[in-house]
A and B are shown apart, each in its own frame.
Chain A
């Protein structure tokens, strides 16, 4: 016994007495093997880069020359960087424009679909097509739709305005610093609506029918039923949809990359677009990482606030 391996070498010493039981030992070994590929990948491609990214954010590094330690220099620079603030404003503009609109429209569609009508599968399929479509292809498609001279959208809008005798002209959409972001918002709402609709529909179908029957007997109107049964009982779904939509809209990138390249006059440079530019066009790896961490902190902060405030409005049975 005196010549046995050091204490830490024997699993029995750090896994506890369980390890002396052969069946348990087999189970723990099996678990190790089952998890091995997963955990190795997880550490190398997730946990490692996460920590590294925090480290990178303290560096001044262009990938070619040796990195310089600047400590919090990147973060301090951020505060003075007008382009960074502009990108945050663009991201919030996108968020405020797309989240409420997407929420209301998808809820309206789900309510309409929940009327026990025929063709529910057909409608669900149609609304879901944009969800499964490639964002690049869809952005390309919409860029052509938004074309001010040959696109179908402005033609239909102008025809409608003329028909209604309204003194309006359709905007230049992607060529206009004012309308480019609304154009991106409109397209994104169109693409994401079906996803939230399916979630809302599942939520609606989970509301017990007997509640509506009881309300019916008490003579509650449709509107009354909506405000006092449907909406409160749907709040867990609404909460989930809200959190996911907000997280998603903080990460908006592809639409801007394909449709506007951040223009015109940088009006659609979102925060992720700015990270991309810094890291992969200007090779400022440290600075890009710092922006990414600020974005991450923002996402975490907003999500945390939502968790904290959920008890005020989310109704759990």
Chain B
């Protein structure tokens, strides 16, 4: 009874006994140990690059290249952050990124929720056909439309401007689809009462649908913000001046200018990463829910 290793063989064919549950618990323990081992090793591998970035960002020019590499900088070169901030107009990059991301988030939430409401709740001729068209465009990679989009923005005179950075990216079939799916899950009863009272459709959208859809709106909003904050390809095509660069562009430019100053480059990377990471830590739930929502219903 005390020896767990021979217990399974001893009990084959017998009804369940205490010995068997004992071995089951052992098996469970073994499984948990393996799981913890795998997960912890993985976490270390996930975190090391970030720690290495932080560590390098606080080293002076000599320490950054010292061999063997050191993890704890001494002295700690806090002034790297100031130097980086002064080397390039990082405050402008930061403000550009924040402005573009906020505008895109608000505008996309507005247009997507309005459109999604029509698709989810209003009956109009051609609704299904239009919706299928929206779905079909979900498959189209951005690279296919980016060249005509660039030409169009050039025609509009929006090259190197906030207009060009925001307007072409506001309209999202994906966001419309996501919100439409969510609106569909909200029971009709509340609106029926409002309709009998003679509420306009806009009132129903604004006073009933939106307040009930806060989680879905939050999820979409966070995704749009994160995506715009990190977006690189489109700004790369249309921004030419230093003053209009967003953070990822500024970072790429910084790399070209300061290729050998890896301590300063790591400061730049840290600056670009921090805002989204902060948002992520506070709004994790929406990230995870958003991914499982789009993943399993998309």
- A interface residues (Cβ-Cβ under 8 A, vs B): 15-16, 18, 24, 26-28, 30-32, 34-35, 37-39, 41-42, 44-50, 52-53, 56, 63, 108-109, 111-113, 115, 117, 119, 123-130, 132-138, 140-142, 144-145, 147, 149-152, 155, 190, 194-195, 198-199, 202-203, 206, 222, 237, 240-241, 247, 250-251, 253-254, 257-258, 272, 275-276, 279-280, 285, 288-289, 292-293, 295-296, 299-300, 303
Contacts and interface: CB of A to CB of B under 8 A. Distances in A.
Contact of A240 (B46, B148, B295): B295
Interface string B17-36: 00000000001000110111
Contacts of A250: 141
A31 B118 CA distance: 5
Interface string B34-49: 1110110011011111
Contact of A199 (B50, B114, B295): B295
Nearest to A35: B118
Given A48-B148, A134-B247, A134-B276, 20 more contacts: A30-B122, A31-B118, A34-B201, A41-B111, A42-B171, A45-B149, A63-B154, A117-B35, A133-B230, A134-B272, A134-B273, A135-B230, A136-B232, A136-B248, A137-B273, A199-B296, A202-B296, A289-B148, A292-B144, A296-B141
Interface of B: 27, 31-32, 34-36, 38-39, 42-43, 45-50, 52-53, 56, 64-69, 110-112, 114-115, 117-119, 122-125, 127, 130, 133-134, 137, 139-152, 154, 167-171, 173, 176, 200-202, 205, 226, 229-230, 232-233, 236-237, 247-248, 251-252, 255, 262, 265-266, 268-270, 272-273, 276-277, 280-281, 284, 287-288, 291-292, 295-296, 298
Given A35-B114, A42-B134, A137-B272, A145 B52 contact: yes
A46 B130 CA distance: 14
Given A28-B125, A135-B232, A237 B295 contact: yes
Most A CB contacts (10 A, CB to CB) among B144, B151, B171, B255 go to: B144
Contact of B269 (A117, A123, A141): A141
A299 B141 contact: yes
Given A144-B52, A144-B266, A199-B292, A52 B148 contact: yes
